């Protein structure tokens, strides 16, 4: 029986494959929509939507990102299918891909993202005031950072949990002292396949 992480990895592969096969379908490269892959995706999404309590924090974070991506694709596919049924679709390869990329670019602009339109950044945010007293927040930040690193194929190196805690504690105190602020927002973001951890001054 597959583990949760294995099923989430399969879900990610299926979503990518679904996009490719819909591109082929709209471009005339295949006769039918990729219903089998779509059914597989829907099955996994429904399963973990109902059993969300079984997921660890990092798994929920990944699952949420995947379902959001799938929902965006599905909406674009739905519109393209409606156009096809009405005879309005332009039959050239890549039409669906262009529509999808346009949707992703608009979503990024709305979110203020700076990445290219070919990749929607995965972002986790948490605000700290006194990290030594906010163990749960720092734990969530560490897990999001470690999960993003794993997905990107990057090593954590010497950044153990205790070293990470000390880094966040020291960074927060330094910024509070230097910038005369109370809150520091930490952002984990994956852009262009690279994981970044940012510390931003808040009021």
CA-nearest of 189, 32, 28 to 121 is: 189
| 162 and 80, same domain (yes or no) | no
Structural domains in the chain (count): 2
Question: Helix, strand, or coil here: 158?
Answer: coil
| Residue 117 in domain | no
From 78, 111, 144, give the residue that closes a domain. 111
| 106 and 127, same domain (yes or no) | no
Q: Is the C-alpha dihedral spanning 120, 7, 139, 193 positive or negative?
A: negative
pLDDT digit string (tens) for the chain, length 203 residues? 778 889 999 999 999 998 888 888 877 777 888 888 899 999 999 988 888 778 888 888 999 999 999 999 888 888 888 887 776 544 444 445 555 555 555 555 554 544 443 444 568 888 999 999 988 888 888 888 888 888 878 888 788 888 899 999 999 999 989 988 999 999 998 887 788 899 998 76
User: Greatest CA span in the chain, whole angstroms?
Assistant: 64
| 41 and 75, same domain (yes or no) | yes
| 89 and 34, same domain (yes or no) | yes
From 52, 82, 111, give the residue that closes a domain. 111
| Residue 64 in domain | yes
State the residue range of the domain holding 140. Answer: 122-201
């Amino acid at each position: 029986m597959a583990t949760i992480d294995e099923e989430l990895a399969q879900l990610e592969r299926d979503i990518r494959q679904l996009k490719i096969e819909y591109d082929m379908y709209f471009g005339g490269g295949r006769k039918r929509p990729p219903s089998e892959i779509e059914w597989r995706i829907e099955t996994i999404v429904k399963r973990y939507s109902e059993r969300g309590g079984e997921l660890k924090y990092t798994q929920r974070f990944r699952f949420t990102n995947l379902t959001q991506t799938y929902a965006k694709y599905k909406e674009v596919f739905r519109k393209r299918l409606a156009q096809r049924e009405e005879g309005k679709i332009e039959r050239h390869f890549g039409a669906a891909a262009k529509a999808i990329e346009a949707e992703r670019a608009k979503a990024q602009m709305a979110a203020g993202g700076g990445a290219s339109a070919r990749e929607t950044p995965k972002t986790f945010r948490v605000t700290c005031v006194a990290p030594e007293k906010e163990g749960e927040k720092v734990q969530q930040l560490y897990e999001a950072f470690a999960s993003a690193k794993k997905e990107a194929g990057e090593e954590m190196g010497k950044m153990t949990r205790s070293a990470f805690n000390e880094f966040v504690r020291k960074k927060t105190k330094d910024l509070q002292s230097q910038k005369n602020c109370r809150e520091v927002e930490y952002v984990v973001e994956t852009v262009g396949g690279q994981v970044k951890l940012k510390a931003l001054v808040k009021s």
